[in-house]
Structure 1
Amino acid sequence: MFNEIALKIEEHLAKGSNFAIAQVIDRIAPSSGKVGDKALVLDTGELIGWIGGGCVRGIVIKEALDVIKSKRYRRVRISPEGGTRETANYKEYVMSCQSKGTLEVMIEPVIPQPELIIVGKSNIARKLSLLAAAADFKVSVLASDADVQMFPTAYEVKDVVDFRSFKSVANTYIIVTTQGEDDELSVRKALQTAVKYVGFVASAKKAEDIKAYLADQGISAKRIAQLRSPVGLDINAKLASEVAISILAEVIDHFRNGNAADTMPVHTKDKVSEDLFTPAEDKFAEDYYINPVCNVPVSKKNPKHIVEFQGEQVYFCCDGCKVSFENDPSKYVKTE
């Protein structure tokens, strides 16, 4: 099992994916999870490995997803007596499984360095590429007639603005700094991905003109409002290098404050291509059901119990939750 997890860690690090590692660090028998057991939790909610079954599995998935979002480790204690203690790094849950054992799990985030996609070959683009690479960003540049001589520190340089080769949305930032060269088309293409952070280097007047164009092109008002333009922290920048510093500083601030793991939902009205950065939340909602008793995710593919209620299937992680629900369904869901 350890070798499988190690291989999965390498695989998802290579993809630039966000994930969490959960490990059992304390145990009071009986419990199926043992000290040293560990698992990988992906941002889709998929768990690879073993830390225990039933409610433990669902709780760990729920907390791991929050750990990935916040980029902070968390200790989780699951016991029959439960508890109310909760901090940014610690939380207690009731063990609703009939085994009535106790587990404590350490969950740590693994967040690769962010990827910066720069659109354009302006002087600001070149300075930003240098600075971002020095800050350990994976930098890709998309611009007509661009080459590695212009961007010697970039990971990848392409001479066409095409986002289809980028497979991950996690920690991805797009900065459009075309400065008059296909501005409208470049910004529209960037917004048609599910990347949460899209910045456009322009004056306030130019930004308003671009937003009007985007509205005419059928981009939703909600998505247009998320375009950051003018982009960068206000440091009274004048030189291209100073503007690049202000942009990179804003990106780092956004990333370190725990926002980058969030992805934009794909807006159908925006004609977003299905293969461009599909958000992980969509897959999680499709594969998992929130147990109404303990409010933790249950895999629809492998639940402990399924109960038919008011024409719908209700999924449970353990015997205890099923029994509690059947004793008084109205306590957990609205009855007709």
Structure 2
Amino acid sequence: MKADTLLQLEQRLIDEAEPFAVVTVIRAAPPTSAWVGAQALVDNDGALHGWIGGGCSRAIVIEAARQAIRSGLPKRVRISNERVAPEADVEAHAMPCASNGAMELFIQPTVPAPSVLVLGSTPTALEACVLAQRVGLRVSAAAHVTAPLAALGLQRVIQGFDADALNGVEPQLILVATQGDSDEDALEAALRSVAAVVLLVASRRKADRLREAMLARGITPARLAALYAPAGPAIHAHTPQEIALGAVAGLVTLRRELEQAAADASASMLAGAETVPVLPPCESIASVELSPARYLNPVCGMAIDIASAKHVIDSQGQRVYFCCDGCKIEFERDPDRYLAIARGTAHKART
């Protein structure tokens, strides 16, 4: 893939708010087919676009990139059989290919900012929309009166407070800033949405009254635990601009807490297990373009010539081809996993 095409793909994924990771080769020791500066992009589905070396290390790179996407943190990865002292900030893996080369990569994930939905068209709501965009959040809004929202450059503006309509923007955070204009309807719709957190611009006394109203409307106590009111830190706000500033500070705080929780969960999941499965050595790291007579080895990602494939098995009604006996043995250890990869590759090829 040409560099400009890779950049175009990055921009498209950014525009579509899709997570991805860019992998850059920062060291390559022969006999590896990679070179310093080579780049590839791994999308959220695990598809690799670009070139960072042969097929045997492909599975390691893809899984490491997906882990970086989940945590939101960059990482360095070394794939080598060299005897070197371990480094705390380098994730080390054995080189599975018989060529026994070595490479190091830097993986930089790009994770879209959370989707925030502001409910209301009050002065506070309008100011909150502006401030939330300035701190990098993806902002949509919903209100009974939507005309004041039209000029704010929001991703989407919704008429009214219907939970199904609100879910259309897949909000992670909702800020209710109706301030007396259909508060109960707006808050109920927010709590019935998929949002992880709902913030309410209100005094403690008013918030307590609205909590009771939500219980009467059938909102469970467990779901009410997602409600934060007042919406942000106490900054002794008086004007709509000051109130919005405090509310957006609350959005920023909760955004970072959710990101940290996701990173901690990813680290915890990986702590007790090997992050990337050790792959068997392959007989070749040559990379070739697919043709209708070629098949992607689901273990290492190498393209196989179906007509001349020597390592073939039938599993669950599907014929699977391998570049070497080692990959076939690895497949047999966990056929369900690799069949899922094979089916996903075939589906993408058809679409």
- TM score, norm. by length of structure 2: 0.64
RMSD of the TM alignment (CA)? 4.4
The answer for the alignment partner of 2:92 in structure 1 is 92
Q: Secondary structure at the match of 2:166?
A: coil
1:38 is the counterpart of 2:33? no
Distance 2:84 2:329 in 1: 21
**CA deviation vs aligned residue, 1:222-245 (integer Å, no higher than 9, x gap):** x54333333213434444333321
Conservation of the 8 A alpha-carbon contact between 1:173 and 1:251: yes
1:212 is the counterpart of 2:215? yes
Conservation of the 8 A alpha-carbon contact between 1:77 and 1:105: yes
The answer for the alignment partner of 2:22 in structure 1 is 21
Distance 2:225 2:323 in 1: 40
The change in CA–CA distance for 1:258 and 1:101 in structure 2 (over 3 A counts) is farther
The change in CA–CA distance for 1:121 and 1:83 in structure 2 (over 3 A counts) is farther
Match for 2:166: what amino acid? F
The answer for the alignment partner of 1:198 in structure 2 is 198
The change in CA–CA distance for 1:151 and 1:220 in structure 2 (over 3 A counts) is same
The answer for the alignment partner of 2:179 in structure 1 is 179
Distance 1:49 1:261 in 2: 32
Match for 2:208: what amino acid? K
Deviation at 1:11, TM superposition (A): 1.2
Conservation of the 8 A alpha-carbon contact between 1:25 and 1:104: yes
Match for 1:18: what amino acid? P
1:294 is the counterpart of 2:285? no
Conservation of the 8 A alpha-carbon contact between 2:299 and 2:331: no
Q: Secondary structure at the match of 1:259?
A: helix
The answer for the alignment partner of 1:120 in structure 2 is 120
Deviation at 1:68, TM superposition (A): 3.0
> Greater shift after overlay, 176-185 or 35-44?
176-185
**CA deviation vs aligned residue, 1:113-148 (integer Å, no higher than 9, x gap):** 554321112332122123224435443221011213
Conservation of the 8 A alpha-carbon contact between 1:129 and 1:151: no
1:303 is the counterpart of 2:303? no
**CA deviation vs aligned residue, 1:162-197 (integer Å, no higher than 9, x gap):** 23553x66xx53212223444444344434544434
Distance 2:57 2:262 in 1: 25
> Greater shift after overlay, 119-128 or 150-159?
150-159
1:112-151 map, 5 Å: 112-148=112-148
Deviation at 1:108, TM superposition (A): 1.3
Distance 1:163 1:259 in 2: 22
1:76 is the counterpart of 2:60? no
Conservation of the 8 A alpha-carbon contact between 2:80 and 2:95: yes
Looking at secondary structure, tell me which structure has more helix per residue. 2
Distance 2:65 2:256 in 1: 18
Deviation at 1:205, TM superposition (A): 0.8
Conservation of the 8 A alpha-carbon contact between 2:173 and 2:251: yes
1:48 is the counterpart of 2:32? no
Larger Rg: 2
**CA deviation vs aligned residue, 1:241-289 (integer Å, no higher than 9, x gap):** 33321221232234456718959xxxxxxxxxxxxxxxxx9xxxxxxxx
Q: Secondary structure at the match of 1:163?
A: helix
Distance 2:324 2:24 in 1: 21
Conservation of the 8 A alpha-carbon contact between 1:233 and 1:249: yes
The change in CA–CA distance for 1:294 and 1:181 in structure 2 (over 3 A counts) is farther
Distance 1:113 1:302 in 2: 35
Conservation of the 8 A alpha-carbon contact between 1:83 and 1:93: no
The change in CA–CA distance for 1:67 and 1:257 in structure 2 (over 3 A counts) is farther
Q: Secondary structure at the match of 2:175?
A: strand
The answer for the alignment partner of 1:251 in structure 2 is 251
Give ranges in structure 1 of 5+ residues lacking alignment.
264-280, 282-289, 296-300, 310-315, 330-336
Deviation at 1:199, TM superposition (A): 2.2
The answer for the alignment partner of 2:58 in structure 1 is 57
The change in CA–CA distance for 1:86 and 1:163 in structure 2 (over 3 A counts) is farther
Distance 1:18 1:83 in 2: 33
The change in CA–CA distance for 1:181 and 1:318 in structure 2 (over 3 A counts) is farther
Give ranges in structure 2 of 5+ residues lacking alignment.
267-273, 280-295, 301-311, 316-321, 335-351
1:317-332 map, 5 Å: 323=329
**CA deviation vs aligned residue, 1:55-95 (integer Å, no higher than 9, x gap):** 532332333233334443222111124777354x5322222
How many residues in Structure 1 have an aligned counterpart in Structure 2? 290
The answer for the alignment partner of 2:341 in structure 1 is none
Distance 1:210 1:73 in 2: 45
Match for 1:92: what amino acid? A
Conservation of the 8 A alpha-carbon contact between 2:60 and 2:276: no
